Amino acid sequence: MNTESHVYARVTRRFDASPERVFDAWLNPEMIGRWMFGPAIREEEVVKIAADARVGGTFSFVVRRQGVEIDHIGEYLEIDRPRRLVFTWAVAPDPIDSSRVMVDIVPRGSGCELTLTHQLAPDWADYRSRTEEAWTKMLDSLAATLG
């Protein structure tokens, strides 16, 4: 995979929650269904959230928008709790590894700072700002969910 031609969408956000709580919210299907998808984020219904949270494990996040089911799929590549999570990201039927997401969490005072980097294929360059906006909205939702 030639990474030089990739496009990177990057978002950073501080949380008042511990690195462990923030990290675990990415791997717990019940939590994912509360902050990453559903009515808190956009007009959609969560159909099924499944995650085999281990390196080499896969996930499937199925939502229904305007009567259409959309399956977000990926594979966990790196799980280093509570510091780093790396996974592929795609929408079926695209290949499971069409893009890559890296989540890095650093302790900051009583909370932490999360930096998310979404590596997109060059032909997705026009979607960089929309991708950053979507992740920003989801991270705001995560912060609200964690209280």
Judge whether residue 3 has pLDDT over 70.
no
Q: What angle do CA 5, 7, 13 make, to 5 degrees?
A: 150
Give dist(CA 76, CA 96) in Å, integer.
11
Q: What is the pLDDT of residues 24-53, one digit of tens each?
A: 999 999 999 999 998 888 999 999 999 999
pLDDT in tens, 94-109: 888 889 999 999 999 9
87, pLDDT greater than 60 = yes
With beta carbons less than 8 A apart as the criterion, state whether 60 and 75 touch. no
Q: Contact at 8 Å (CB) between 85 and 78?
A: yes
| Mean of per-residue pLDDT scores for the chain | 94
**Residue 116 CB neighbour total at 10 angstroms:** 22
Burial of 101 (0-12, 13-18, 19+ CB in 10 A): buried
Check residue 120 and give its pLDDT.
94
Q: Report the relative pairing of strands 68-80 and 111-120 from DSSP bridges.
A: unpaired
